[in-house]
Amino acid sequence: MKIATWNINGVKARIDTVLAWLRETSPDIACFQEIKSVDENFPSSAFEELGYNVATHGQKGFNGVALLSKLPLEDIQRGLPGDEADQQARYIEASVSAENGALRVGCLYLPNGNPLGSEKFPYKLQWMDRLIAHAKLRLLDETPFLLLGDYNVIPDPIDARNPAAWSGDALFQPESRARFRALTHLGFTEAVRATTDAPETFTFWDYQAGAWQKNNGIRIDHILLSPQASDRLNGCGIDKHVRGWEKPSDHVPVWVDLAA
């Protein structure tokens, strides 16, 4: 079973690219971030024609997350628990029933947190605290659970071509990185680093300053696997080539292959 995550940076702008990738790779489940669309305007029919069931948690103009699955989506939860006043569409979760039993998938678009010194950084840290609390509860039922998405966190210096350039950025602050470690230390396996320790393993290249051409990238898109999910891990990959397509997102897909 192939399960993927991708910050598509706007479904309207990227629909042809996204459909081409789905036809090429045919993941069983795809988690999208930054769909930048309200639910009623999301082009679900285009994905349904490829055999996907679709669930969205959208927002006009920015944010927004979506789940696509070849299997029926069950028990869909929209929004991260812990703050009923939070109106930003950044989290969606659902279960699917596979051959080896049910598994649960959480798709997240973690707050960027910039600029430092504004209210956006405390919001990022509070959101991460809520994610940690939610993940603790999900681990209790021992159902295979995956947390996939754009975490907006560079975990370690190896995950940036030029770490010093990110020293003043919310993505690389000690507080952000410490919370990411706290999340993984609950018992999750971070799929990419469980399968490779290679440097220059990136998932994001800015549109500015020739970052793609210079391979000036960072790794901020992650897949975390609960112990029950990591027991089924067959492989993991990053579809880097998609960044070179016409009208690309600044992120690329990351995927895992789990025993069905």
Spatial distance between the Cα atoms of 70 and 29, rounded to a whole number of angstroms: 7
Residues ≥6 apart with Cβ < 8 Å to 236: 191, 192, 194, 195, 196, 223, 254, 255, 256, 257
> In the annotation, is 134 catalytic?
no
Q: Catalytic pick from 134, 151, 251, 257? A: 251
d(CA 204, CA 120): 21
Q: Binding site for Mg(2+): which residues?
A: 7, 34, 150, 152, 250-251
Catalytic residue among 150, 159, 221, 257: 150
Q: Is position 150 annotated as part of the catalytic site?
A: yes
- Catalytic, 222? Answer no
Query: Crossing angle, helix 174-184 and helix 120-140, to 10 degrees?
Result: 10
Catalytic residue among 109, 151, 159, 222: 109
Which residues line the annotated binding site? 7, 34, 150, 152, 250-251
What is the C-alpha separation between 58 and 44, in angstroms, rounded? 12
Active site residues: 109, 150, 251
